[in-house]
Structure 1
Amino acid sequence: MAEIVGAFALSHAAVMVRHWEQATAADQAAVRGAFDEIARRLRAARADALLIVGNDHYRSFFLDQMPAFCLGIGDTSIGCGDGGFPPHALPVASQLADGLLEGLLARQFDLAFAHNLPLDHAFIGPMHNLFGGAGLPIVPLFQNCVAPPLPPLARYLALGAAIAEVLAQIEPGLRVALLGTGGLSHEVPLPDWRRLPQDAEGEHWLRFMTAGRSGADAKTLERIGAEVDRWGRERRGRIDETFDRELLAWMQAGDYARFADLDAETLRRRGGNGAQEVRNWVTVMGAVPGTRAELLVYAPVPAWLTGVAAVEFR
């Protein structure tokens, strides 16, 4: 059986990478210290592979094809080059990915799969922050967090439990770590596609959301990046420290089942559209019942638009 030797979750934010220096020195030090501690613990756990659970921001999946869940298979995943990261390849633990895909399908989780899945900053950012862009072979698990409608959060807990069941039956002796990325509360200029205005601005967003893997035109991408940066300069992200600490308290108590009581509207209303990314954390929680979260950092950082957090589920 494969062994889960570590389970972690941390925030990602493109503006954090592009404008790290805009946060206070104290916030920079606290977040950097937490990321370095996760990297140290992963190395100490001697993990052979990292199952990384993240989402996408209309870089790999678009309105013409938007699965709820998709497992990356093959030998390599390539970073899209968004969020301030240069495009670079990450090795995929292909045998582990194949075993997870077959095992989850057998447990009635109808995951999509993608060969050599391209990855955006939701995946590349944490790998860069933890390992400088190198490190463990990965298995990328995409979860839709940006294009509603979205599955109920109970489904993510159940998916995590199924992942643990499959790992217990495949890859004897393999040491696997889990990492969920995204959140906590934040708001980014990424509108609900169902409510786009019937004007030039709506057409601009629709081009981005339906561009396909060839990508939107350079002018559109530049405009979106500039809008995110402007939100950071103007501190427009909607951080709700009370909500974030409430969720973190549930994790610290090991009360993961409470997340099943949340719905998409509550997450959006209390934590902004970016709070949907806590779903990636919930899948990891579902795989490690009986644990409690150790809080490594929480820093509400307006310059990064995000309530930044990092935990280990121990």
Structure 2
Amino acid sequence: MARIVLGMGLAHTPQMHTPPEQWQTRIEADRKNPALWFRGKSYKWDALCAERAGENLAVQAEPEERERRHARANAAVEVLAEAWEKARPDVAVIMGNDQHELFVEDVMPAFTIFWGKEVQNMPSRDDQAARKPPGIHVAHHGHAPPQLLTHPGCPELGRHMIEQTMVDGFDVAQSQWLREADQRISFSTGMPHAYGFVYRNVMKDRVPPHVPVIINTFYAPNQPTAARCLALGRSVGKAIQSWDKDLRVAVIGSGGLSHFVIDEQFDHAFMDALVRGDHEATVNHPESWFQAGTSECKNWIAAAGALEGSGLKARVVDYVPCYRSEGGTGTGAGFVLWS
């Protein structure tokens, strides 16, 4: 039977591949954002700044702090990359999400398991780059290579996961090939950046056979709940551990933690629950807390569910709140390793 030998949860924020002196290029988008979610409430810019005025967050967004935190976050990813290289799993299962890179409004599945023979990671076309929000394309190299790379899928495990999750009551979507990006909306072609970040920074573009699990964390009205993501992860874990191959498997959750508004208290409680193995505690907040970028915590939740019963223990590699403004916007960059 297959064995789960490694687990990871990591942020995939573009801030990590944006020069710190350019972090402020995203502030204009923050100012225009009509829904800045913080602790279950939606704020506009001025109201958010007023709400957080007492925290003196501007100090944490000063140039020297940006440089220091940028370096720390990237150093944490290197720790994960070293753990990956040491373990060299045969197969990976990556829990991630899509942000109008693969799926658009013609169809937006809540859960998709990809079981094709291969995936593509590739740079955006010029027209796609032009559609990206300000300050995003500068970080493109952090998840997309300069030229097309094709990576192997794992159809046998993917199909087994689909069959197991269906038995367990999940009507998952399934996919065997990546369609061309929508010319009107999509920001990229090939795999979403949640996966590309892992390919490039953890696996160093040496990607083993793997199964992408795509969770619609962002887009209403069919976002699966955090509890549902935990249950799906447990079903995936059951599938991996019942797969009749003597292979070593890694499970990775890509995304999060709190953003586009950082909530350090939430992030620390979330990671503490993972370290304790109290996965039920990760889903205790109302769904209003899992909105915008913070919704990507659901990818970690699904990964944690899959890692149950593996015997692996979680530890926090680092947590770096990467503030870019006095309103607390930025990314709570967390990094957790199960070994």
Of 269, 279, 285, the match for 2:298: 279
Structure 1 SS opposite 2:195: helix
Q: Equivalent residue for 2:71?
A: 29
Q: Equivalent residue for 1:207?
A: none
Q: Deviations over 1:32-89 (max 9, x none)?
A: 2221221221222231011011001111111220101001121111235355124432
Distance in 2 between residues matched to 1:41 and 1:21, nearest whole Å: 30
How do 1:1-314 residues align onto structure 2 when only pairs under 5 Å count?
A: 1-19=1-19, 22=22, 24-79=66-121, 81-82=123-124, 84=140, 85-86=144-145, 87-117=148-178, 118-149=190-221, 150-187=223-260, 238-268=261-291, 273-289=292-308, 292-303=313-324, 305-314=330-339
Letter in 2 for 1:145: T
TM-score, normalised with respect to structure 1 = 0.77
Distance in 1 between residues matched to 2:122 and 2:175, nearest whole Å: 15
Q: Equivalent residue for 1:198?
A: none
Q: Equivalent residue for 1:235?
A: none
Distance in 1 between residues matched to 2:214 and 2:274, nearest whole Å: 22
Q: Deviations over 1:122-145 (max 9, x none)?
A: 110122111232232221110001
Letter in 2 for 1:40: E
Distance in 1 between residues matched to 2:246 and 2:313, nearest whole Å: 25
Structure 1 SS opposite 2:290: helix
> Percent identity among equivalent residues?
30
Aligned residues: 260
Q: Equivalent residue for 2:59?
A: none
Change (3 A) 1:67 1:173: same
How far off its partner does 1:20 sit? 6.0
Distance in 1 between residues matched to 2:301 and 2:220, nearest whole Å: 18
Change (3 A) 1:20 1:88: farther
How far off its partner does 1:251 sit? 1.6
How far off its partner does 1:30 sit? 2.0
How far off its partner does 1:163 sit? 1.2
Q: Does the 8 Å CA contact 2:16/2:74 hold for their aligned counterparts?
A: no
How far off its partner does 1:22 sit? 4.8
Q: Does the 8 Å CA contact 1:78/1:116 hold for their aligned counterparts?
A: no
Distance in 2 between residues matched to 1:61 and 1:171, nearest whole Å: 32
Distance in 2 between residues matched to 1:9 and 1:266, nearest whole Å: 19
**Deviation larger for 52-61 or 101-110:** 101-110
What residue ranges of structure 2 are gaps of 5+ in the alignment? Answer: 24-65, 125-136, 179-189
Distance in 1 between residues matched to 2:79 and 2:175, nearest whole Å: 32
